[in-house]
Each structure stands twice: as C-alpha cells, then as structure tokens.
Amino acid sequence: MEQKRMNIAIAVNEKFVKYACVMLTSVFENHKDREVQVFVLYGQVAEKELQHFHDLAEKYKQIIYLVKMEKEWFPQELPHTEEWPLEVYYRLALTDILPKEINRILYLDVDVIVKESIWDFYHTDFQGKSLCVCPDMSVLTGGLMQKQYELFQEHMKQENFQYFNAGILLMNLDKMRENVNLEFFVQMGLKLNIGAQDQDLLNYVYHGDVRYLDEKKYNLFAKLAFNEGLDYDWVKENTSIIHFAGRKPWQHEALHFNTEKFWWQYAKLTPFYIQLLEDVVLNEVDSGFMNDTIEKLNQEKLELSMTLEKCMEILKKLGI
C-alpha cells in the first residue's frame, strides 16, 4: 500500500491555515489519479480553522489527518522568532509520531506550490541516505549568516558539504528512526547556537547523510529565480516545486514578480480567494508602500543626476 500512496506532512499555526490550503490544493490538483495522505501538524488552532482541512479532503477525496502537537514537547527555550516560530520544529517529531509502517514522507513548507506531478520525485531512491534535499538557493547566492559560519566551520572543510534548505524534505523514516528522535533534536537545539532553527539542526545532524537533488527543479526560490532571469515561462517548463521563501505572494508592502501567478492560480481554487486578494490590494492601498517606493526611487534618481552633473563639471574643468 505504501508504494501506491504519497505521504506528505506540513506544519501550521492558525494564521497559516489558508495558505496551507492553497499549497495542498496544488498537490491534490496535480495528483487526482493518485492517493495522497497528508499529516497536518498543529498546536493552537481553532476547530473552525481546522475544518478547512476536512473540507479540502472531502473535495478531493484524499486523506488528511490532523495531528495535535503537545506544547511541552517544544520548550520555549528553543530558539525561535516571529518569522520562525516554534512550529518550525514540528517536522522533527515525524520519526516519533508517525506509524512505523510509514517508511518515507515528504515534508513541505506551506509557502510552496507543487505545479505538476511529483510522484517520481516522491519515490526517489535514497541511495542509503536519510534525506533527499536541495541546496539552499539563498546560501548559494548570498552565503551563510555569521552564526551559521561559526556552527558549520568544520563541516565546510568537507569537500562535498552543501547547506540545504529544510522547506522540502524527502525523509527516509526507516533510517532516521535508527539514530534520532524528537528529544534528541530538542536537546541539540538547546545546546547549539543556531541561527536558522530546525534547518540548522538538520544540516548539523545530517551532513554527509543526504542525497542532493536539483534545486531549480524541486525547490526553486521564486524571487531569487526571477532575479536571475528565470521568469514565468522558464519556471513553467523546468520546475516542479516553487518555494516562495522570504516575501510571500499574499503579502503587501512587497515588490511582486510574475512567478507569483503560479500561487494565485491555485489560490483561485480555494474558498479564500477573494479574501486573499483583498488582503493584498486593500492593505497595499492603505499602506502607501508603492507610492513611497516610487518617491524614494525618484529621489535617488535626482541625487544621482546631480552627482553626475558635478562629475561632468569637474571633468570639463580638467579638460577631459
């Protein structure tokens, strides 16, 4: 039965339920001929919000299990921020909470879109490794944070070490259960000086025990890709999973780009579409962000123009 089913896990808090539903809609839409079983890990979420997952499962005739995570499992002392709340550690409990007969699972952050079938990706050969992962595009383009340099300085001496992104993890649960459990990760998190929470923990523990896959195919950072000239048409032809790391398609006070259309394509299929549109447009209008941005650019243009004029005057005086 395991080979006929794709197991997926996600983690949510109350404010991310509707975004999680958009992501799961993209999964279900592209696997209508497959059986998908989803484990939603949650802490404090109202029942009326959880009902959206029941509705989604009924709509697509798929299976969604709601798995309550206990507060005492994740001490407040674990490093966390508003951007990276304690929920990011939930994925580290999968070896403990899932039935033993589940030997692999795909963990997905809720800010991704699955734009085509990933059935073959899900069944990737682990080649004896604990995880199949993709190199982190932000690290490939910008480097590690200072805390991470300190944490991984020994790892970076290894020829094949690459820092990976934890937003998309294909997990070999059989192998992982041999060596780790949630308590192990919690103690590591309390001990280490980590900068990117669970992601640093996973990189620290599993360096050398991962199979790297193509990040532009299976974990494409949308904004970084767009900055590199990989636009909507390129992504449509070459990418299976898009990751909206950093600024999200649903956020205002942000500059948006055309690959976000993939996210809105699936948002349109959810009951939240009008609300999501209003959240972006009305908040954008109220904030004045775009007007302020344009004024700032005009001011910078004026300052550059004045500087150029002064340079030209100096060059003219020098007879150049």
pLDDT higher than threshold 90 for residue 168: yes
pTM for the predicted model, two decimal places: 0.87
pLDDT exceeds 80 at position 113: yes
Q: Is the pLDDT of residue 33 over 50?
A: yes
CA 155, chain centre distance (Å): 24
Which residues does 281 contact at the CB level (< 8 Å), separation at least 6? none
2-13 pLDDT, tens per residue? 568 999 999 999
Q: Return the pLDDT at 143.
A: 67
What pLDDT does residue 144 have? Answer: 65
Q: Work out the percent of the chain whose per-residue pLDDT is above 70.
A: 91
CA-to-CA separations, 50 to 17, 46, 54, 64, in angstroms, rounded: 8, 6, 7, 11
196 versus 314: the higher-pLDDT residue is 314
Give how far Cα 314 sits from Cα of 303, 304, 305, Å.
17, 15, 14
User: Considering the domain 2-279 in this protein, what is its CATH number?
Assistant: 3.90.550.10
Of 65 and 74, the one with more pLDDT: 65
Cβ–Cβ < 8 Å for 25, 269: yes
Greater model confidence, 175 or 293: 175
Q: Where are the domains of the chain?
A: 2-279, 288-317
pLDDT value at 210 more than 60? yes
| Gap between the Cα atoms of 159 and 16, Å rounded | 38
Residue 140 pLDDT: 61
1, pLDDT greater than 60: no
Is 65 or 188 the better-scoring residue by pLDDT?
65
pLDDT in tens, 189-198: 888 777 678 8
Report how far Cα 141 is from the mean position of its chain's Cα atoms.
17
* The pLDDT of residue 170 is above 60: yes
The pLDDT tens digits for 131-151 are 999 999 887 666 666 667 667
Calculate the average pLDDT of the chain.
Answer: 88
Among the ranges given (36-40, 115-119, 158-162, 247-251), the one the predictor scored with the smallest mean pLDDT: 158-162
Of the listed ranges 32-41, 108-117, 147-156, 191-200, the one predicted with least confidence: 147-156
Burial 18-37 (b: 16+ CB within 10 A, else e): bbbbbbbbbbbebbeebebb
